[in-house]
Amino acid sequence: MSNHTYTFEEFKRHFADYGMVRKYEHVARAGEQVEVGDSQDFEITVLRVMDYMTQIYSDEEEAHHKASMFILIQMYLAEHAQDFDQGALAVVGSEQGLVSHHLLRAVHHLYTSRPLSKIGRGPSPKEVIRLAQKYAQDA
């Protein structure tokens, strides 16, 4: 388990920048610039996120940890987009979709408050929705 915490404020900033990151056509790889073009393949997306995180965090382990967490959360949100397309939680349809602050906070909390070995395929969408609704009520 990493010693690096991944705060919600950091995650929100990374989430806001994700649209820009997905457009990177060159990434740093092993100290050299590599052209990735406009491919949206998963592997290329991972390279883009890693490049982005290494631009922000000088500690390689911290950059890797936060990139991994960010990618896991993004994959979870994409996999369960239809589950969250209700009420004011999320709207599916645009390239990245519109995701509420409360839903992001809930997913982030559930991924960062447990060891990754305990997460498996991620929390149930119902658990995320309950927590997001609680955050919305508390706001």
Cα–Cα–Cα angle for 47, 68, 28, rounded to 5 degrees: 25
Q: Can you point out the beta strands (E) in the chain?
A: 26-29, 32-35, 90-91, 98-99
* The one-letter amino acid at 62: E
How much is the pTM? Answer: 0.88
Q: What number is the average pLDDT over the span 113-121?
A: 86
Cα–Cα–Cα angle for 35, 41, 43, rounded to 5 degrees: 75
Tokens at 91, concatenated: 């709207």
* Cα distance between residue 87 and residue 123, in whole Å: 20
What is the average pLDDT value for the chain, to the nearest integer?
89
In the structure, what pLDDT confidence band is assigned to residue 90 with cuts at 50, 70 and 90?
low
Percent of the chain residues topping a pLDDT of 90: 65
Q: What number is the average pLDDT over the span 119-128?
A: 90
Burial (CB count within 10 angstroms: exposed 0-12, middle 13-18, buried 19+), residue 25: exposed
Domain locations in the chain as residue ranges:
8-138
In the structure, what pLDDT confidence band is assigned to residue 20 with cuts at 50, 70 and 90?
very high
Look at residue 91 in the predicted model and tell me its pLDDT: 58
